[in-house]
Amino acid sequence: MLVDGRFMPIFAFLFGIGFALFLESAAAGTGRPRLPLVRRLAALAAIGALHQMLYPGEVLLSYAVVGLVVLLPASFLPRALVLAGGVIGSVLGVTVTSGGLPLVPGLFLLGLAAARYRVPQELEGRGRQVAIAFAVSLAAAVPAAVWHYGEVWNTGFSTSSAVAGLLTAATYVTALCLLMRTPLARLLRAVFAPLGRMALTNYLSATLVVLLVGWLLDFPARDRWGALFALAFGLLLAQWAVGSLWLRAFRYGPLEWGWRCVTWWSIVPNRRRPDPAPAEPEPRVQAASSHQVVWKGHSGGEA
């Protein structure tokens, strides 16, 4: 009730935001910003198609196709039309198809609209509004979860599961935004940054690990929930540890780097260069200056 179907809306919404941020950043570096974007989505579709062979129902292929078919044309539209399309698409995705994949285009468009309205940048100074959004989302998510719980016999998509998923996702996002305004922000960044910056590598490697462990231990997932939760927690912990170590030496995860190279059709530097040692102070100089090396990629904050 707290996990299943609750994070898909978040990932879809963030995909739309990431699309907009990438397009904006690419426009600053090339006169044809949509060309690398098409290569990026085509590469994601190829990765997703291969991943489908191991994990039928995975999201990468669907996200890439929807990105090409929906987000790319929408990038030419005024932001008001994108927002309207996102609202209409999301409502139809809930009421007509009861969520699932048909809900993704609407959430993609909402994310694209949010980025074009500069919502992520405005959150820093909107603590009161975020708190209100959290309270409203939580108040609505509780009865929605009760409604969904009453239909647990329905193992497929349903209107109750879609509504509960969206409201719970909104609660999680607004709660995290509030926590990022507290002293816990530094800890949260340390926890989530390695996982987020290597999201593609982590997603695909998780499939390989789960399939391998399931084959070695021969356990059916539905009969051993304790072992499944232990595997999930251990996998996340291992990915965080490996990611933290990897990102000390490299700017991107291995698959993220390959994806980026295809996107820009060039070999992108990945290994971090050590900061230069501070120069020896000149005689009779009382204060020494320090230099910081800052590297800026093609798109800020890209996983």
Encode the chain (303 residues) as per-residue pLDDT tens digits: 455 556 889 999 999 999 999 999 999 888 899 999 999 999 999 999 999 999 888 899 999 999 999 999 999 999 999 999 999 999 998 888 777 788 999 999 999 999 999 998 888 888 899 999 999 999 999 998 888 776 665 555 677 788 888 999 999 999 999 999 999 999 999 999 999 999 999 999 999 998 888 777 776 655 667 777 888 899 999 999 999 999 999 999 999 999 999 999 999 999 988 765 555 555 444 433 433 333 334 444 443
Model confidence, pTM: 0.82
H or E stretch at 4:
none
- Answer for the pair 243, 197: CB distance below 8 angstroms, yes or no: yes
Cβ count within 10 A of residue 74: 23
Assigned token pair, 283 = 């005689």
Query: Which of 176, 214, 211, 178 minimizes the C-alpha distance to 196?
Result: 176
Q: Which residues share a beta bridge with 250?
A: 271
The 3-class secondary structure across 217-274, one letter per residue, is HCCCHHHCHHHHHHHHHHHHHHHHHHHHHHHHHECCCHHHHHHHHHHHCCCCCCECCC
- Answer for the pair 158, 98: CB distance below 8 angstroms, yes or no: yes
Query: For position 124, what pLDDT does the model report?
Result: 80
Query: For position 296, what pLDDT does the model report?
Result: 37
d(CA 139, CA 133): 10
d(CA 226, CA 298): 43
Assigned token pair, 193 = 């940054």
DSSP 8-state symbol, 101: G
Burial class (CB in 10 A: 0-12, 13-18, 19+), 89: buried
d(CA 271, CA 262): 17
DSSP 8-state symbol, 282: P
The residue type found at 201 is T
Query: Which of 129, 144, 111 minimizes the C-alpha distance to 177?
Result: 129
Query: For position 277, what pLDDT does the model report?
Result: 54
- Answer for the pair 111, 73: CB distance below 8 angstroms, yes or no: no
- Answer for the pair 24, 302: CB distance below 8 angstroms, yes or no: no
Query: For position 290, what pLDDT does the model report?
Result: 39
